[in-house]
Structure 1
């Protein structure tokens, strides 16, 4: 840890020499971006045995960038990130599109510096490093690699949206190299989550060394999650790589075969290389431009994003963009560690869904064609509908319409909105939570998308069963046959629940389909579709049909109406404790179902006190706030304090308890810290908790601001005595979105005494 912080502390001096500008070392002058620590959450190790790490990466790029530029510490695949903090070696500097540990990379390319004997394969070319020689910010990354015989290579990264620049400082050598890897189909990485056979048989990457233009071009058709989605014949990640050092000695490689002076190569694990002499501390710059449209588009992207070989200028511009976005929230009266955790969380909420359009055009992975317009991709919807998308409505309102319209374009081009696009359909996780995202935006007043198309899309999800619904079990990560949508919907409509003997994850599906039905119902109501509204509201109560009044838990039920003999089946990433309180759309009725406020609160308390609650996974993210509905707001306030503490969030690589899941966990932290949370999507209301910082200002649309004050906040004063919005007392622990976006002052008076 000492080394970790000492590396960060030298950043201002390095940037001063690097870019011709520096930061005032007086901590009072630091800007918001200076507190971001992208190494938080990068450890594979979790907070305890059996817990996952954060699944983040120290990427360099502008907010919501199409391409992330990062040091690659291992051969990534589904279940393994491109960078893991525990790793001791670097195998490349990569342009990656891997959004999170559970999903795959696609269209990637990497560059690796080297001296001595030419070694091209990742396991052979890797070079060790020490974290004390590593610097990571959202706009600049650097690491010193041990090249052997007391020689070092310094690698640095600057990144934009689709393009980035690597800068390598070499020692004196007559055998210096740059190895480009255009595709990496390594069958040795195969496991239950990663099938390589079909991809190796069908795919071929391509590189071409262009001596006239001193560049390497090519494409990578690989999608690591291809087994989970439809075939895309036209999919390619195109790249253009330029060098400020003339290409003289060169060649290509495929697996162990190196072809000197070759200028073109196809293959499944292949690339190109350049060799040259270097002087002591000679700097070689490499520009990488990417596109999903064409090589020509990659060149056009490069022309827009990077001017000449100005590495420092790119760093400065990306820093400016991050600062502009991060200053949407300002803090005062907090420690350095608190600021770092807070702004790193905010940084993590500004990475996904990623921009997928390239200056007015985009490749669609849903009809395998190029279109005009704006596009986003990599939506981790099962996670992010809960807190990330509601947060973006407040912090990034200018992007919300585009994100919704992108989901609708996927519907138009592929027939359904996606569940977890990477970048095309995958049947990862359950339910069609794009419905909640679209409906929540609609309820909160966004109209900059095709509303009729939006309703058509959510209506299909709610009313139409997927192809072959009654003939498939829809198991998690089954090989692709067709789009899952709401698997088991046929039974859900016929029986009022998804039966455990017909469809996998049946209990969780029933509950989550009910949530989405409620969300679609709110759109139907707003658009005057009365009949649909009535039907959807009825379906939104289906969660009650899997509540076992004898056991007091949500439970699996077979198609004959009998409870399944095994009460532990039918759940997604959890147990009956995880899902029993899951009907977030209908909390008062759920409380009645379980015997009233007293009985409900007692069972909910057991959930927390007996260790059943899992803060490291999303289904229970709203559980902290359920005590508000039982007349016990003080309990919610206690839990918010506990779960925003070092129990779940730390200023360290092992710094996020559980996977961040494309910003969901970070958004959960930010809402908890602000003092309110969007428990019920598409309801238009937030449940009030307790702020954890004394003063927060949130910039809203149209120049308005929300100021959150926690008067008397301290270690002991964790309870709320009263809360007022613009002077008006809030009595029911609810505040509306309409109130929030008007701006003003949300004032909490804190006390050490629990208040009912």
Structure 2
């Protein structure tokens, strides 16, 4: 997602510029390598870490070079600045580090929670982030999914080498110090800095009610504590019992130590409470003195953190942690194999795969989990940090193919949230937040069910989806439901009362009304498919009727989706009522009823003409999610060649590069990366819960995807080249595909999807 409130990001389209950071395209890179690499060796975690976008006014990728296993509960990363909602803990443009961090920030527009950091230092003790920061140079930086290192510039022209190895809930830092009479490790247990306050970050309540805690234990040679901070707390309900617990252990004995609170340093102090505080240990170092630090995290208890540490990092073997995590990544990444492409293309592809294997994060800790929905501990498996407004479109459909073993547990986690809190979440972080619009957990669950996943209570699933579709939230008609409004109650489908009563959401009653009307229709369609599968015919008919409500915000006189008032009149402000977009962004938004949209706009030719203007006149926003399916709409109106042309254009360096400024727009927990992977493979899930994929054009000559039950999908593109970007013929297991559609049922059994490519658009 992009920032909702800033008009320049929503109203103006900037030309794409080739930035100086990228000097060559992937096509100019060498095709062959002398040393065989594993898939994991191609991953570049620095891609997308710049906050700078591809052009002025555009967002960067919002990713970070974290070190951890796939879907880890805790991400271990170098912290280049004080993070908050709108700023990641690592930003490539920064040139200093304030700590090595155990972070839970999923993406740039959501908050961190339960974090802790460790910072090495020599010389006089300096504890606050702005005082303790050390400079570094990116040329001294190594970033892998399983290992990270850099050199921090310390006093007297010396360096401290800092290294990270990460597992699931635990990580290990390794520091190599120069000779120093005073060397320190500074632990920051919480960071409520009122100087960071802005429109997206409100510190007042947190400063008043939250206190972190640290305890220095010289007997067990460790520092323990907890951090109750949730940076998005203003957007959700209070959680009395929420704490991010941590244990920080050292392989050197603690001799000199203390605690600190803001600017007050207390030598020999063993306990500290506060809002911006921590602890420290000090020692002397000879040249090249190595100090190892393990960091164990838990949302359950200190004892659970200790249990996690024993399971994940039972000794001080740094290299063993690195190897174990590398093996884990390689096992997941090799499920998709590519051939006959450049190393640069492999790096972009496998980095995109890496980004799709981070979220939603595992939230359970070896059979138990803390629920941020009833503030209690439960037995079972849990996932969290679902960026549902973004990820229902492509990430979750991709995980059905690449991570089928996790799908049932991801669905069960959403249903547990429903049982524990009363609703499924919109964007849990880690509890309810009223971020974005729609109840797109409906789409995720219905899509999984339609594609054959049954490892959860289907009756409970329908109960949860039915509530989303039929029940208005508390205070619905009294509230405007603005994005990032301070928490009052759960939003669910804000404006649902009028959506049912009027057939649309009026702009003078509810914010983002046009986008809501369209997206609620998508969710209604998805719930309807589950109703139909469960034999609930009455609900199915009702839901399918509601799913057509998008037609009621189509203004035939202008040819665009437009805001309407409660009295039925069209608003005098035609560009109001949209979420992260304009009338161009949402006029093609009813992905669940493409034939209906085409008919509404006057037939295939009229629809194709308007869609062509959307692209040719610069209205298309590749950097944001609402338009991710737009390219494939050409398949539905007699212009598949145009879709094939645009897939080539938008999977190129124009949107994806092997550089820190490498993802056009926020990746949003893997959604943009998932779009890239689907588009590169040659098909895309336009309509959730339909069980169908729309055929595009593959971008690599060979891709093999290992599926469930030993099945394998092989995608071949004969004759593919820079000129041969059009599809002449496509077959599945030798049978021609003529309607530009292939079903999940077909793909799930494996086989060969074969494309014959040509340089001539097939317009007949």
Give the corresponding residue for 2:682. Answer: 675
Give the corresponding residue for 2:112. Answer: 105
Give the corresponding residue for 1:316. Answer: 323
1:479 alignment partner, one of 457, 476, 486: 486
> Any idea what the Cα deviations from partners look like across 1:632-690, whole Å, max 9, x if unmatched?
00000000000000000000000000000000000000000000000000000000000
Give the corresponding residue for 1:250. Answer: 257
1:514 correspondence with 2:521: yes
1:74 correspondence with 2:90: no
For residue 323 of structure 1, give the secondary structure of its aligned residue in structure 2. Answer: helix
1:84 alignment partner, one of 65, 80, 91: 91
Give the corresponding residue for 1:331. Answer: 338
After superposition, the Cα gap between the structure-2 partners of 1:192 and 1:410, relative to the gap in structure 1 and judged at 3 Å, is: same
Normalising by structure 2, report the TM-score: 0.96
Q: What is the distance in 2 between the residues matched to 1:26 and 1:95? A: 35
Q: Please state how far the C-alpha of 1:26 moved relative to its aligned partner.
A: 6.5
Structure 2 residues without counterparts, runs of 5 or longer: 1-18, 24-31
For residue 156 of structure 1, give the secondary structure of its aligned residue in structure 2. Answer: strand
> Any idea what the Cα deviations from partners look like across 1:365-414, whole Å, max 9, x if unmatched?
00000000000000000000000000000000000000000000000000
1:32 correspondence with 2:39: yes
2:148 alignment partner, one of 141, 146, 152: 141
Give the corresponding residue for 1:21. Answer: none
Give the corresponding residue for 2:385. Answer: 378
> Any idea what the Cα deviations from partners look like across 1:590-635, whole Å, max 9, x if unmatched?
1000000000000000000000000000000000000000110000
1:591 correspondence with 2:602: no
For residue 352 of structure 1, give the secondary structure of its aligned residue in structure 2. Answer: coil
For residue 232 of structure 1, give the secondary structure of its aligned residue in structure 2. Answer: coil
Q: What is the distance in 1 between the residues matched to 2:21 and 2:389? A: 37
Q: Please state how far the C-alpha of 1:450 moved relative to its aligned partner.
A: 1.0
Contact 2:563 2:570 in 1 (8 A): yes
1:687 alignment partner, one of 674, 691, 694: 694
Q: Please state how far the C-alpha of 1:29 moved relative to its aligned partner.
A: 1.8
Q: What is the distance in 2 between the residues matched to 1:394 and 1:543? A: 31
Give the corresponding residue for 1:203. Answer: 210
Contact 1:3 1:132 in 2 (8 A): no
Q: Please state how far the C-alpha of 1:307 moved relative to its aligned partner.
A: 2.4
Q: What is the distance in 1 between the residues matched to 2:573 and 2:169? A: 50
> Any idea what the Cα deviations from partners look like across 1:525-548, whole Å, max 9, x if unmatched?
000001000000000000000000
Q: What is the distance in 1 between the residues matched to 2:35 and 2:692? A: 37
1:641-680 correspondence runs (5 A): 641-680=648-687
For residue 212 of structure 1, give the secondary structure of its aligned residue in structure 2. Answer: coil
Q: What is the distance in 1 between the residues matched to 2:590 and 2:368? A: 40
1:300 correspondence with 2:307: yes
Q: What is the distance in 1 between the residues matched to 2:752 and 2:746? A: 10
1:366 correspondence with 2:373: yes
For residue 141 of structure 2, give the secondary structure of its aligned residue in structure 1. Answer: strand
> Any idea what the Cα deviations from partners look like across 1:299-334, whole Å, max 9, x if unmatched?
000000012100000000000000000000001100
For residue 327 of structure 2, give the secondary structure of its aligned residue in structure 1. Answer: helix
1:707 correspondence with 2:714: yes
Q: What is the distance in 2 between the residues matched to 1:148 and 1:594? A: 68
Q: What is the distance in 2 between the residues matched to 1:568 and 1:631? A: 30
Q: What is the distance in 2 between the residues matched to 1:210 and 1:37? A: 39
Give the corresponding residue for 2:234. Answer: 227
Give the corresponding residue for 1:493. Answer: 500
1:551 correspondence with 2:576: no
For residue 48 of structure 1, give the secondary structure of its aligned residue in structure 2. Answer: coil
1:400-479 correspondence runs (5 A): 400-479=407-486
For residue 132 of structure 1, give the secondary structure of its aligned residue in structure 2. Answer: helix
Q: Please state how far the C-alpha of 1:298 moved relative to its aligned partner.
A: 0.1
Q: What is the distance in 2 between the residues matched to 1:643 and 1:402? A: 33
Structure 1 residues without counterparts, runs of 5 or longer: 6-24
Q: What is the distance in 2 between the residues matched to 1:399 and 1:308? A: 29
1:284 correspondence with 2:291: yes
Q: Which runs of 4+ in 1 moved over 6 A?
A: 1-5
Give the corresponding residue for 1:356. Answer: 363
Contact 1:4 1:131 in 2 (8 A): no
Q: What is the distance in 2 between the residues matched to 1:434 and 1:49? A: 34
> Any idea what the Cα deviations from partners look like across 1:116-166, whole Å, max 9, x if unmatched?
000000000000000000000000000000002111000000000000000
Give the corresponding residue for 1:56. Answer: 63
1:606 correspondence with 2:629: no
Give the corresponding residue for 2:192. Answer: 185
Contact 1:4 1:132 in 2 (8 A): no
Q: What is the distance in 1 between the residues matched to 2:408 and 2:631? A: 30
Q: What is the distance in 2 between the residues matched to 1:4 and 1:288? A: 36
After superposition, the Cα gap between the structure-2 partners of 1:4 and 1:62, relative to the gap in structure 1 and judged at 3 Å, is: farther
Normalising by structure 1, report the TM-score: 0.97
Aligned length: 737
> Any idea what the Cα deviations from partners look like across 1:716-741, whole Å, max 9, x if unmatched?
00000000000000000000000000
Contact 1:3 1:131 in 2 (8 A): no
1:215 alignment partner, one of 210, 214, 222: 222
Q: What is the distance in 1 between the residues matched to 2:200 and 2:275? A: 19
Q: Please state how far the C-alpha of 1:28 moved relative to its aligned partner.
A: 4.4
2:623 alignment partner, one of 616, 619, 626: 616
Q: What is the distance in 2 between the residues matched to 1:340 and 1:746? A: 24
1:582 correspondence with 2:579: no
Contact 1:240 1:290 in 2 (8 A): yes
For residue 403 of structure 1, give the secondary structure of its aligned residue in structure 2. Answer: helix
Contact 1:239 1:288 in 2 (8 A): yes
Q: Please state how far the C-alpha of 1:27 moved relative to its aligned partner.
A: 4.0
